[in-house]
Amino acid sequence: MTSEPTHAPGTADTFSVGGEFRVTRIGFGAMRLHSGPGPERKAAIAVARRAVELGVTLIDTAHLYGWGANEELLAEALFPYPDDLLITTKVGVTRGGPEGWAYDARPGSLREQVEQGLRRLRTERIGLLQLHRLDPKVPVAEQVGALRELQQEGRIGHIGLSEVTAAQLAEARRTADIASVQNRYNLFDREYEPVLRACEAAGIAFLPWRPVAAAAASGEVSAVAAELGATAPQVLLAWLLARSPVALPIPGTASPAHLEENLGAADLRLTDSQLRRLDHHGPASSA
C-alpha cells in the first residue's frame, strides 16, 4: 500500500536570516511574557529559558512591549546569550496617541531607541533590528537610511520591517538590504500574501505574527488535527511551514505546556490532500 505524499518540516528545518543567522523555523514571540515584578516574572523567565533549552534560536521582542521591559526580561533570563540565539527587537513607535503608542521613526528617534535597546539587551550589536511600523510622516528612505547608518556603524546587524505592503518593501529595499518582514498572517488572514511571495522571491525571512489565530473555530482544522493526533494550533503552524520556505512563525505564550505544544508542530507531517483542504478552507488568496 502506497502512502500519501507528505510535507515534513522536521526539527532540523532551518532558515538563514540575512545570510548570517541560521535559525529554527519556529521561533518564539516574547510579547506575552509578564515583565513586571513577582511570581509571574519568575515564571516568564522560566519560559524564555525553556524555549532555548528546547532548541529555539529566534526570539522576537520590541521596544513597544512594556516600553523596554520585555527586552530587559529577556536579558535577565538569557544573558550571556548562546552563540546560536538571535534576539530580534523592533523600534519606530513611542508612547502617546489614542492607542497608547504613536509612530516615531524620525532618524534621531530611531537612533535613540536603538541605543536604549542595546543597553536593555546588554549587547553591543542587535543582530536583527526591525522597524515596527513605517512612520507616515517620514520618508521611507529616511527611516531605512537611519537604520542603514546604524548598521554601517556596527550597532545593528540586519534590518527588518513590520506590517508593510509589497510596494513598501520594494521601496525600502532601494535604500538598504532587508533581511526580514514581520506581518500578520495565518490560514484565515492572508491579506499579506503578496508580501510573503515577494519575500520568498528575494530570500527574505517572513515572520508571521498571530500565526494561530482562531485555531479552535475551524471544523476543517480540527478534523486534520484529529487525523494526525495533534492540536489545532500545531496544524496551523505546520501549515505555515508548508506554505513557504521563508516562513518563520513566532507563536507566543506564557505557558510551558503551550510552548512545547507549539514547537511540536515542527514534526507534523501534513499530507498533500490535508494541505489542499486547509488551503481551500481559509480565505481566497489575495495574490
Residues annotated as catalytic are: 65
Q: How many CA atoms lie within 13 A of 181 on its CB side?
A: 32
Q: Name the residue among 4, 91, 71 with its Cα closest to residue 274.
A: 4
- Rounded to whole angstroms, how far apart are CA atoms 70 and 62? 7
Residue that is written with C-alpha cell 516562513 in the block: 247
3-class SS string, 8-64: CCCCCCEEEECCCEEEECCCEECCCCCCCCCHHHHHHHHHHHHHHHCCCCEEECCCC
Cell of 219: 471544523
| Phi, psi for residue 109 in degrees, rounded to 5 | -70, -40
CA triplet 89, 92, 95: central angle to 5 degrees? 105
Contact 133, 174 (CB under 8 A): no
Which strands sit side by side in the sheet containing 205-209, from one edge to the other?
28-29, 58-60, 86-91, 126-131, 156-162, 180-184, 205-209
Could you give the 3-state DSSP secondary structure of residue 264? helix
Q: What is the DSSP letter of 253?
A: -
The end-to-end CA distance of the chain, in Å, is 38
